[in-house]
Structure 1
C-alpha cells in the first residue's frame, strides 16, 4: 500500500471521528455542555481565563479530534451559544461586544463557582 493512500485513509478516519463527536456534542443537554464550557472559560482553558470567542470554544470541545476542519467545528456554534446563554442567565459569564460576535468572559461569580465545584447546583438553581 502506498504511504500516500494510507495517509488519506488516516485523514478520512480522523475527519469521521471528529464529525461523530460533533453529532454527539450537538445532542448533549444544555447544562452538560455549559459545564464543559466553564472549564474552557476558566484559568485552565485555552485563553487562561481571559475573553474567548465562540469559535475558540468550539475548537476547545474538539481539541482531541485533530480531523475537525473549521467548517465542521462551526457546526457546534448553535449549541455552544445556547450553553453560553444559559451560563449568562445565572450570572457565570458575560458577553463583551467588541465586534459583531461577542467574546465571552467568566464573571467573578463564575470563577468562584468553578473553584468551589458547585456548577451543577447553580445550573439547577440552588
Structure 2
C-alpha cells in the first residue's frame, strides 16, 4: 500500500543524480569519480541505505560511493548488468543484483521493475 493513500509516513529519499549544479561542480573541481561520494559525505547518516544502478557494473563513481557508504555505516544494494562488472566483486555492496544479459535495454527494464518491487516490499512491510 502506498503511504500517501494509507496515511502512513513515507521514507525519505535523496536522488544523488538530481542536483546538476552539484554534479558538475564536483566533476569539474574534484573529478567525476567523486560525484556521488562527496554527496554521501554531506548527506548520508548511519543506517541509511544506498541503492546504486550501473548497466555494466563498472561505474567507478558508483563503486567509490559504495565504499564510502560502508565507512559511514550504510546498508548497500547494487543493481548491475552484463557480468556484474566491478560491482559484483565489491565487498562494500551487501546485495548485488545482476541482470546477466548484454542487452542494455533488458538490463534497464529489469532494474526498473526490480526497483519498483523493492519499493513496494519496503512500504508494505513497514
TM over 0.5: no
TM-score tier after normalising by the smaller chain length: under 0.3
Tell which has more relative contact order, 1 or 2 (C-alpha 8 A, sep 6+).
Answer: 1
TM-score, normalised relative to structure 2: 0.27
TM-score, normalised relative to structure 1: 0.27
Q: Answer 1 or 2: which has greater helix percent.
A: 1
Structure with max Cα Rg: 1
Q: Answer 1 or 2: which has greater strand percent.
A: 2
